[in-house]
Amino acid sequence: MESSSVAVFNDDSKSKIVSEFLFRTCRPLQSNVITHQIMAAALCSGLPKHPSDNDQVDFVQLPTGSVAEFYIEPMLSCVGDVDIMRHRSDGLAVPRGYPPPTRLPAEFRGSVEVNEIIDSEYPRYVYLLLSYLLTECDDDGKYRADRQYDKRRFVTYDLRDHGSTRVEIHGPARTLRNTGEGWSFDFVSCARCLSWPPQAAGWPTRHRRLHGWPDAATVDRVVSNGCDAVRVAHRLCRQDELTGQTQWRLSFSRAEIILINSWVPVQQIVYHMLRFFVKTERLSDITDSTGTEMLSNYHLKTLTLWACESKPNSWWTDDRKS
């Protein structure tokens, strides 16, 4: 009997073959096939342009999440729902104790209510205290603190802003679905903060000389974009009549977009594969006794960001050189 030739692959060989396949098939997004970016823009245009309480005020909208983070296009999509953040053009959040801003981006109106960010007992969760009014000066375009509010109040949620009864509420997001066309998107109302908050003061100066990521220019871009406060209370406070409607959470989605877009392709591929595995294995459906997800995309994002900062570039790329 003639012996047949059998190709034997060890686990390392299989791993390299799969890695090479993923690397070669995850192409950079092309301008003519960025379907989700186009959808995000269309959905932004379809949302209400103005809050229900003032048709002279604009919503300023920003695509976030997967549609903004990924610059690769795998064979199996890395983009799920479209996520959109939006803030009012007549409102601003400022860390408590910071001086009133004298200049604002063009997206803001001539009169802007300023809410001071007050810490809660839970990290990242805050209150917004309506404090004073900024008014633009006609002669030089600068803003001045025009009026202090005598009766300060904590800012509560306005659930009317979505303008639709087809909305499901998930944490800070309002999910709108079109089952007929098979799409859905999440939009998150937020309060814009142009300053990097003291609650995250340690991040820009954290020791990261070993591996050089993120570099100084990327850190500067992150800090200069500030943060947002999104409408959601800590899970232990949501049933409370007061804190359940007045507590907000600091969001660093703008920072995450900048950081993830600075990754090399293999880092984006790893992040995508982790997300795809968790989704297909339905691991995100596992919850604790309070109904909170035990493993979410946010956990994967945080862990991958940490790995990119703590591992050298060679840790990600050495296999491709061999």
Domain boundaries, the chain: 28-262, 264-286+293-322
Burial class (CB in 10 A: 0-12, 13-18, 19+), 318: exposed
Q: Is the pLDDT of residue 31 over 60?
A: no
Whether this prediction's pTM lies above 0.85 is answered by: no
Return the bridge partners of 86, or none. 61, 189
Distance of CA 84 to the CA centre of its chain: 9
**In this structure, what is the dihedral angle of CA atoms 277, 280, 286, 291, given to the nearest 10 degrees?**
110
Closest CA to 16 of 266, 189, 283, 301: 266
- Looking at 5-14, 116-125, 238-247, which range is the least confident one? 5-14
* Residue (of 98, 75, 81) closest to 27 by Cα position: 75
- The whole-chain average pLDDT of the chain stands at 81
What tens digit of pLDDT does each residue of 58-69 get?
A: 988 888 888 888
What is the reported pLDDT for 10? Answer: 62
| Predicted pLDDT at 32 | 40
DSSP letter (8 states) at residue 162 = G
Distance CA 130, CA 153 (A): 6
Q: How far apart are alpha carbons 134 and 129 in whole angstroms?
A: 15
pLDDT at 91 over 70: yes
pLDDT band at 210 (very low <50, low <70, confident <90, very high): confident
Higher pLDDT, 264 or 27: 264
- 245-282 confidence digits (pLDDT tens): 899 999 999 999 999 999 999 999 999 989 888 888 87
**How far is Cα of residue 66 from the mean position of the Cα atoms in its chain?**
9
Average pLDDT in the 165-181 region?
65
For 215-251, the pLDDT digits (tens) are 999 999 999 999 999 999 998 998 888 888 899 999 9
Task: Report the pLDDT averaged over residues 22-28.
Answer: 73
